Chain A
């Protein structure tokens, strides 16, 4: 451990932070450090492979002798599998094996529950054979909404287990917390109450879940998996197949999206290995698009009731939050609130409700887009009740925070808040009305030890950077190249990165926005070690002290010589490989991530159609490594957030439990014409915490978009839409409610 003082933060808000640097670790980059590649617009290192179609994903694996497997799933939400017969299917052309995944007499719990699988020579043959499996489900009425699940006498989704699981938040004494919060609200000058609902959002990665399994002659197995966790799949496969670690290899060189849904060997992986064993041939098992909706995971729905009091001084005195939601058979329906602001006395009840619906999985910032939609909409409603500007109100109700105020001011300037905020919401004359709104994001310090990165310098001067975890499209490969390139003073594009193979050094699963802060610091350590080893080897050749040599702009400099890196590499007696190991986290400028988004909308008040015109998205995540790719993540988060806000809803038939929109036609994902102008602003912070000062970025940009849009809609129209997705129907209902008319519509269910 060495104590160091580093100047951290960002221009205008610097702080000297005392850091205990672990043994063998580099100091983090501080404000005084000049960086050549890190923080610049570094082009994605695998861009060429992707734009030329050369990149091979799991779905693309194809070789002679491979069989294609397809899965049969239940179309209905609840019941018992009374009959399943694959005799006819087994005899169909090209069919090589059948696997039953559910036995007669076993319960069916949701649309998508797996029943059987078929391996055949061609995809068409497998599809036809699956269609030919005869089965019968004795149905029960599906429990598909929170209301159905919690009605008195409701059937239990899991026999013996209550459909409702309740958690009361309030420290050691929830009763006391509840009392105090209610009292604080009662005594306040103004009280506001509102209920917000959000619907289930399906991940819909464009590459469906899938695994290719190939057993080798020595009994080992190679799995190609569309996964966010190569080592997780390997662990599962080791357990499932009862094979030693050395006999299992998982490869995921390219992955077509995950967003939290792709962890573990999963059903398609087990099907692939089981059928590969049975047929003695490699087997590829990919989900269909419909199945991707069903078993690929989802973000739970929510119903969030909020009640708070605001004092005469504009400060919130207390808040009571009651949330419920359903992640189908999977639970996980928490909403991350109250958060960001100071709420005085707080009390929260959180209900998780089980239904006959596909199980939820972590989806980009679990709990946050829905929780922050409610919090940030509610903050605006409180501000409006208190007669305050939304930004000023937030400034009054937040603890001192190093980023938010600066970010709000930056974004407000960029979008033109002063000119565009309508002091009287809905003031615009005419049918099409404009307004602006804002919301903040938050995320956490993620990234831990458990990553190792190898760097090899070959005698021909080529440099390889290697880690066995995966780049799911976030740009991890580019991050590794940039960080190592920074240390070796070489352009990142000249390095070669290998990822996505469990034969390479260990790395994390890509969840929680923890990959970059996990592998990044390990890469820096590896780069530093590689530089030292390289210079030591050259020094030996030149017969000088290593300390007299350094790398400057791609050249070895010292001992009255300059030699380009590639030329110097030829002097190496042998290639050299070093390993960088991710150390523990240490002191940082700030231990959480902020961010904010400001949106401008135009609402057609006759049709209820919302057009988002512009979004300014300011996002911090410590040190951007490639600024270009950092901004891409921000853009991606905003677009997914917009799609969540306006279009996406998983629709279930409430009697039979079938998802009726299990496609990309009626499950509506925002497309090109729906795009606003988006201004991504990378808010660079030299943060410390780890040697590269990296914080996770993947999740925070998705969090505030829905609330920013909803708040802008209010500013534009004076109508408050409290239900996602904000369809024309709901906007018209909100307008009608504002005008005191009874709207001819349904409200959102948040089922």
Chain B
């Protein structure tokens, strides 16, 4: 290990981090190697083996075959890789997988409950808020989080606010206005 005393305890604490239950207060130094990690994805414990440099996006797509989340710009500028971490929207391409150990990760695959589509997914279909569909998972996750927040707070966002909330998601086919319509329908619905 590189010359830092704490690193000597590396092996056991690395395993500790990757399973999410590291000893409180202890620093961990994870070596630049493939090692086992546990992530909570869509309510399930998923085991994978990755290096520290693997982003959450690639962990999902390449290690867990959850390819719903897309790699589009890989630099955090388009939102195509949007997932929820502890309920908050992040660009998974700019998040290290190791940073979300122990956190609740939700991807597009987890938005529907079995065969039952989430209201926002139903609205997307109804309003045709998609075309080629490649940006759609990012928009669905972002839209779901907007609708969930509206439900939880009782505050119905205006169309302008919806636009602001979606400013991190790019669509090349041009579906934006229908996404706004879909969200407006869902948030406008009475509880």
Do A and B bind? yes
The yes or no answer to A207 lying at the interface (CB within 8 A) is yes
Interface string of A81-94 (1 = CB under 8 A from B): 00000000000000
Contact yes or no, B65 A675, CB < 8 A: no
Q: Considering the chains assembled together, what is the distance between the CA atoms of A628 and B178 in angstroms?
A: 11
The yes or no answer to A246 lying at the interface (CB within 8 A) is no
Q: Considering the chains assembled together, what is the distance between the CA atoms of A638 and B108 in angstroms?
A: 28
Question: Nearest Cβ distance between residue A401 and chain B, in whole angstroms?
Answer: 27
Interface-side segment among A39-47, A161-169, A499-507: A39-47
Interface centre among A54, A206, A255 (most CB of B within 10 A): A206
Contacts of B58 in A (CB 8 A): 123-124
Interface string of A702-725 (1 = CB under 8 A from B): 000000000000000000000000
Contacts of A632 in B (CB 8 A): 128, 131, 175, 178
Q: Considering the chains assembled together, what is the distance between the CA atoms of A47 and B62 in angstroms?
A: 24
Contacts of B135 in A (CB 8 A): 206
Contacts of B62 in A (CB 8 A): 62, 122-123
The size bracket of the interface on A is 35 or more
The yes or no answer to A60 lying at the interface (CB within 8 A) is yes
The yes or no answer to B87 lying at the interface (CB within 8 A) is no
The yes or no answer to B155 lying at the interface (CB within 8 A) is no
Interface string of A362-391 (1 = CB under 8 A from B): 000000000000000000000000000000
Q: B172 is contacted by which of A57, A60, A205, A677 (Cβ under 8 Å)?
A: A205
Contact yes or no, A628 B72, CB < 8 A: no
The yes or no answer to A288 lying at the interface (CB within 8 A) is yes
How many A-B contacts at CB < 8 Å in the complex?
A: 170
The size bracket of the interface on B is 35 or more
Q: Considering the chains assembled together, what is the distance between the CA atoms of A43 and B122 in angstroms?
A: 11
Contact yes or no, A206 B172, CB < 8 A: yes
The yes or no answer to A467 lying at the interface (CB within 8 A) is no
The yes or no answer to A52 lying at the interface (CB within 8 A) is yes
A46-B133, A52-B68, A207-B70 known; A671 vs B170 contact (CB < 8 Å): yes
Contacts of B153 in A (CB 8 A): none
Interface-side segment among A348-356, A426-434, A472-480: A472-480
Name the residue of chain B whose CB is nearest to the CB of A474. B131
Contact yes or no, A206 B80, CB < 8 A: yes
A62-B65, A255-B132, A672-B163 known; A52 vs B77 contact (CB < 8 Å): no
Contacts of A204 in B (CB 8 A): 172
Contact yes or no, B134 A206, CB < 8 A: yes
The yes or no answer to B51 lying at the interface (CB within 8 A) is yes
Q: B117 is contacted by which of A52, A124, A475, A628 (Cβ under 8 Å)?
A: A52
The yes or no answer to A747 lying at the interface (CB within 8 A) is no
Contact yes or no, B67 A53, CB < 8 A: yes
Contacts of B70 in A (CB 8 A): 57, 59, 206-207, 256
The yes or no answer to A663 lying at the interface (CB within 8 A) is yes
The yes or no answer to A314 lying at the interface (CB within 8 A) is no
Q: Which of A601-638 contact B (CB under 8 A)?
A: 628-629, 631-633, 635-638
Q: Which of A622-674 contact B (CB under 8 A)?
A: 628-629, 631-633, 635-640, 663-665, 669, 671-673
Q: A629 is contacted by which of B77, B121, B128, B171 (Cβ under 8 Å)?
A: B128
Contact yes or no, A53 B108, CB < 8 A: yes
Contact yes or no, A257 B134, CB < 8 A: yes
Question: Nearest Cβ distance between residue A721 and chain B, in whole angstroms?
Answer: 23
Contact yes or no, B130 A50, CB < 8 A: yes
Contacts of A663 in B (CB 8 A): 73, 75, 77
The yes or no answer to B92 lying at the interface (CB within 8 A) is no
Contacts of B175 in A (CB 8 A): 632, 635-636
A53-B67, A673-B163 known; A473 vs B125 contact (CB < 8 Å): no
Interface string of B171-182 (1 = CB under 8 A from A): 111111111100
Q: A672 is contacted by which of B51, B67, B71, B169 (Cβ under 8 Å)?
A: B169
Question: Nearest Cβ distance between residue B33 and chain A, in whole angstroms?
Answer: 10
The yes or no answer to A254 lying at the interface (CB within 8 A) is yes
The yes or no answer to B112 lying at the interface (CB within 8 A) is yes
Which of A's residues lie within 8 Å of B, judged by CB? 43-44, 46-57, 59-60, 62, 122-124, 204-207, 254-257, 259, 288-289, 472-475, 628-629, 631-633, 635-640, 663-665, 669, 671-673, 675, 677-678
Name 19 extra pairs, CB < 8 A, besides A47-B125, A51-B121, A672-B167: A44-B128, A47-B130, A50-B133, A51-B125, A51-B137, A52-B108, A52-B117, A206-B170, A257-B173, A289-B73, A628-B128, A632-B175, A633-B131, A635-B174, A664-B72, A664-B73, A671-B167, A672-B163, A672-B166
Q: Can you list 28 A-B pairs with a CB-CB distance of less than 8 A? A: A47-B125, A47-B128, A48-B121, A50-B130, A51-B136, A52-B108, A53-B69, A53-B107, A57-B134, A124-B54, A204-B172, A205-B134, A206-B78, A207-B132, A255-B132, A257-B172, A257-B173, A289-B72, A628-B128, A631-B128, A632-B178, A633-B131, A635-B175, A636-B131, A664-B77, A671-B166, A671-B170, A677-B177
